[in-house]
Amino acid sequence: MPELPEIVDRHILDHHVVLALKAIMDASGCQLHEAIDTFGLRYEELRRDRPDDFQVSREEYGRGVYT
């Protein structure tokens, strides 16, 4: 996974999926499908390492987000 700026983690933790994807694409120069994969990996790392920092539960997180 490429080195990501801290703002990506903040967007993921705050449930700002679109902003997180945009920040990943801007930082790495990748396309959307790669950003989605990177997002998924980083999301799982954050859920494992910082579960109390999330604003919503795992069940609520994906509601309303369609890729």
Average pLDDT, stretch 61-65?
76
- Cβ burial 15-51 (10 Å sphere, 16+ → b, else e): bbbeebbbbbbebbebeeeebbebbeebbeebeeeee
Better-predicted residue by pLDDT, 2 or 32: 32
Q: What is the tens place of the pLDDT at every residue in 12-60?
A: 999 999 999 999 999 999 999 999 999 999 999 999 999 999 988 988 8
pLDDT of residue 3: 87
pLDDT of residue 24: 98
pTM of the shown model: 0.88
